[in-house]
Amino acid sequence: MLLIDCPYCGKRPEIEFTYGGQAHVARPSDPGLLDDQSWAEYLYMRANTKGVHAERWRHAHGCARFFNALRDTTSDRILATYKTGEPRPQLAADAGSGR
Ligand SMILES: [Zn+2]
């Protein structure tokens, strides 16, 4: 069983979690100033990273809080988790991932 380390609760079974998309996607401060292309890119365009990818996860069947995780998409291993609002930790695996 895969365990995910919730930054608030500790390690829990993966079935308690839901995927929430790419992390660190900032909402434009004034969307009304964007043209349709820029707004569509914000809404729909995401990285398709091979290697370490920053993702949002939610501990849906636990504390119900969102947090961020660094997952290696080539091995499906979660390398680190951190609270929303905290900076992305740097990992040795980041070197050469081209994020
Ligand atoms: Zn939790």
**Ligand 1 centroid to 77 CA: how many Å?**
18
Cα 24 to ligand 1 centroid, rounded to whole Å? 20
Rounded CA gap, 55 and 22, in Å?
4
Quick: pLDDT tens for 61-98: 999 999 999 999 999 999 999 999 999 998 876 665 54
CA of 55 to the centre of ligand 1 (A): 16
Q: Which pTM value belongs to this model?
A: 0.84
- The Å distance, Cα 6 to ligand 1 centre, comes to 5
Structural domains present in the chain:
3-26+33-94 (3.30.2270.10)
- Measure 58 CA to ligand 1 centroid, in angstroms: 8
25-53 per-position pLDDT tens digit? 999 999 999 999 999 999 999 999 999 99
